[in-house]
């Protein structure tokens, strides 16, 4: 178990990156004002110096070609991610082992077979006396305890109540399923105010509370919040091997956008992640 380590978020040439030995990668989170060609080369140098095995970059369509020329490959893409253009999710591998997915066939089948087979089940209504609400800073200790109980490792320091409070003070809204003042399940939406999109993330339901569609209700609730706040597009980067998480997104009408090979240190090891998205505004209503 490793509940304390995490990678640092910093700026490089005007871009925002996260990097470190925890995920053994650089994540280009926001290109910002950086020149894409120069940045691509700089990221490759930095990854080599630090001994990382992957660079994962999220960039606007119009800025992708200097990365592709430098050896990045397309792993997923979301249309309309930014106002007026899409986003490409690119991977650059410094070790062939990092690129290789021994379980690629079963990960493919999860999306092509299991999800379509099980997708069309209506939601179970929330049991009486159970409600969904926005989390507050006072919930941080209980939230961290749930995250610690569900995830052996996680790519961001959600096991730390202080980090959760800081996130709430910035751009992240957390939501919980609650019964009699006890938190039963959690999720969050991380808002990008300029691109007007949100990442639906940090879903956790302890095993004893699973099977009641809590994640699905949380996702529907967060979509309603998005609509109220005039955000346009929701997306997620979800564990590719989790039937429950991928089904949750598919059941709410999210579109599969591709897979990021061996991308994220989550639940004890580096796992591949699926990208899903949904255009919220102008695409019909949300449902639970």
Min dist CB 72 to ligand COA, Å, is: 24
Backbone phi, psi, residue 88, to 5°: -110, 140
Taking Cα atoms as reference points, which of 226, 217, 177, 178 lies closest to residue 199? 226
Task: Work out which of 41, 73, 100, 118 binds ligand COA, going by CB under 6 A.
Answer: 118
Which residue lies nearer to ligand COA by CB, 94 or 260?
Answer: 260
Instruction: Show the site string, 126-145: x = touches ligand COA by CB under 6 A, - = not.
Output: --------------------
Residue 16 Cα distances to 33, 53, 159, 263, angstroms = 10, 19, 23, 18
Q: Rounded CA gap, 260 and 52, in Å?
A: 16
Q: Is 239 in the site for ligand COA (CB under 6 A)?
A: yes
Min dist CB 247 to ligand COA, Å, is: 5
DSSP state of 156: S
Q: Is 210 in the site for ligand COA (CB under 6 A)?
A: yes
Q: Which residue in the block uniquely carries the two structure tokens 């005007």?
A: 14
Q: Rounded CA gap, 115 and 253, in Å?
A: 12
As given in the structure block, the two tokens for residue 152 are: 């052996």
**Contact indicator for 61, 88 with CB cutoff of 8 Å:** yes
As given in the structure block, the two tokens for residue 255 are: 């579109």
Q: Is 245 in the site for ligand COA (CB under 6 A)?
A: yes
Q: Is 70 in the site for ligand COA (CB under 6 A)?
A: no
Q: How far apart are the first and last CA of the chain?
A: 34
Give Cα 52 to chain centroid, integer Å: 21
Min dist CB 251 to ligand COA, Å, is: 8
Which residue lies nearer to ligand COA by CB, 61 or 101?
Answer: 101
Which residue lies nearer to ligand COA by CB, 38 or 287?
Answer: 287
Which residue lies nearer to ligand COA by CB, 39 or 273?
Answer: 273
Q: Is 111 in the site for ligand COA (CB under 6 A)?
A: no
Task: Work out which of 168, 226, 234, 238 binds ligand COA, going by CB under 6 A.
Answer: 238
What number of other Cβ atoms are within 10 A of residue 117's Cβ?
9
Pick the stretch among 16-24, 46-54, 173-181, 245-253 that binds ligand COA (CB under 6 A). 245-253
Backbone phi, psi, residue 282, to 5°: 80, 15
Instruction: Please give the residues from 19 up to 48 whose contact with ligand COA meets the rule CB under 6 A.
Output: none
Which residue lies nearer to ligand COA by CB, 238 or 270?
Answer: 238
Q: Is 247 in the site for ligand COA (CB under 6 A)?
A: yes
As given in the structure block, the two tokens for residue 73 are: 């490959």
Q: Is 153 in the site for ligand COA (CB under 6 A)?
A: no
Q: Which residue in the block uniquely carries the two structure tokens 């925002």?
A: 16
Report CA dihedral (209, 5, 136, 285) to the nearest 10 degrees.
-60
Min dist CB 211 to ligand COA, Å, is: 4
Q: Is 121 in the site for ligand COA (CB under 6 A)?
A: yes
- Residues within the interface to ligand COA (CB under 6 A): 114, 118, 121, 150, 203-205, 210-216, 238-239, 242-245, 247-248
């Amino acid at each position: 178990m490793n509940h304390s380590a995490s990678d640092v978020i910093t700026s490089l040439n005007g871009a925002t990156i996260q990097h470190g030995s925890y995920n053994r990668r650089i994540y280009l989170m926001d290109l910002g004002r950086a020149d894409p060609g120069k940045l691509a080369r700089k990221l490759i140098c930095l990854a080599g110096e630090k001994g990382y095995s992957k660079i994962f970059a999220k960039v606007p369509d119009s800025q992708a070609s200097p990365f592709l020329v430098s050896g990045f490959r397309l792993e997923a893409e979301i249309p309309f991610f930014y106002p007026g253009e899409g986003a490409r999710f690119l991977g650059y591998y410094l070790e062939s082992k990092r690129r290789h997915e021994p379980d690629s066939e079963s990960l493919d089948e999860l999306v092509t077979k299991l999800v379509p087979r099980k997708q069309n089940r209506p939601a179970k209504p929330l049991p009486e006396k159970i409600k969904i609400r926005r989390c507050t800073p006072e919930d941080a200790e209980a939230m961290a305890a749930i995250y610690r109980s569900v995830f052996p490792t996680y790519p961001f320091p959600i096991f730390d109540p202080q980090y959760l409070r800081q996130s709430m003070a910035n751009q992240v809204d957390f939501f919980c399923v609650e019964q009699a003042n006890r938190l039963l399940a959690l999720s969050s939406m991380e808002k990008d105010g300029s691109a007007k999109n949100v990442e639906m993330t940090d879903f956790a339901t302890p095993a004893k509370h699973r099977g009641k569609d809590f994640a699905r209700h949380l996702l529907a609730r967060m979509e309603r919040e998005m609509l109220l706040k005039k955000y346009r597009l929701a997306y997620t980067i979800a564990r590719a091997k989790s039937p429950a998480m991928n089904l949750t997104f598919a059941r709410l009408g999210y579109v599969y956008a591709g897979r990021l090979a061996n991308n994220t240190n989550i639940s004890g090891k580096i796992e591949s992640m699926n990208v899903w998205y949904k255009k919220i505004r102008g695409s019909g209503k949300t449902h639970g």
